Amino acid sequence: MVFPDGIPAFEQEKRFLAMRQPISEPLVFLQSVTHPDVCFATLPAPAACPGYRLNVTPEDLHALGFKRGRQPEIGRDVLCLAILSLTENAPPTVNLLEPIVINIGTLRGRQAIQRDSSYSHREVLPLRGAACS
Amino acid sequence: MRRRAGESILIGEDIEIQILHIGESRIKIGITAPKSVPVTMKEVKLVGEENLAAAQLHSVAALRTMLDRLIDGPTGGEK
């Protein structure tokens, strides 16, 4: 997968691999091709939050190769991965506000910085019921 | 400081911020700055800090703990 702009703080990392392993389902690891030590644990946003809805900005839609004005459908148009954070003595959190969005057709990706979204960049896991809707 | 569309602000000798268009809920600004001065949206810097923190994990034990705590659920057709 190609990230033409990298992702914030990792602007030099332009190519990533997405990896899943049965032992770590449903996690998806995003590993930089050029610096394999740069690796993020992510969760598909719908797995973290069933019914998750994207609200990608027109600028990000354009950069991903989509028409402005229509949100891409997760699973059909895009993969949508939320980065996991783990701090000691605190529950894991997941960034549902700024997900990694990958165009399935072109495998071009980008971290979408959403505005006007009700999600948090630190949603606590596990999410229960309507906590994230 | 009050500015109208088409007016500018100078910061030091080399940086100019021009108000290009004022819309209902957002404004368009043009920034001229030397290449050595990074110009980014504040959100991007904050997201970068989150990403740096997130990239720190990955001891096997830490991942185990996380997996144990994770929800089970549909994966939304991701592959």
Per-residue pLDDT tens digits for A10-57:
999 999 999 988 877 888 999 999 988 889 999 999 999 889 999 999
Nearest to B50 among A41, A45, A95 (CB): A95
| A22: Cβ contacts below 8 Å, ≥ 6 apart | none
Residue A64 covered by a domain: yes
Average predicted confidence (pLDDT) for chain B: 81
Q: What is the mean pLDDT of residues A123-131?
A: 64
Residue A11 covered by a domain: no
CA–CA min distance A112, chain B (Å) = 10
Please tell me the least confidently modeled range out of A71-80, A96-105, A119-128, B66-75. Answer: B66-75
Residue A106 covered by a domain: yes
pTM, rounded to two decimals: 0.79
- Quote the CA–CA distance of A28 and A16 in Å, as a whole number: 12
Percent of chain A with pLDDT over 70: 94
Residues in chain B: 79
Query: Into how many domains does chain A fold?
Result: 1
Tell how far CA A88 is from the center of its chain: 22
Q: Residue A89 belongs to what domain range?
A: 16-125
pLDDT over 80 (residue A77): yes
- Residue B70 is predicted with a pLDDT of 60
Domain holding A114: CATH number?
Answer: 2.30.290.10
Residue A133 covered by a domain: no
Residue A8 covered by a domain: no
- Residue B76 is predicted with a pLDDT of 41
Q: Which H/E stretch holds residue A84?
A: strand A78-85
Residue A6 covered by a domain: no
On whether any CB of chain B is under 8 Å from the CB of A84, the answer is yes
- Residue B38 is predicted with a pLDDT of 85
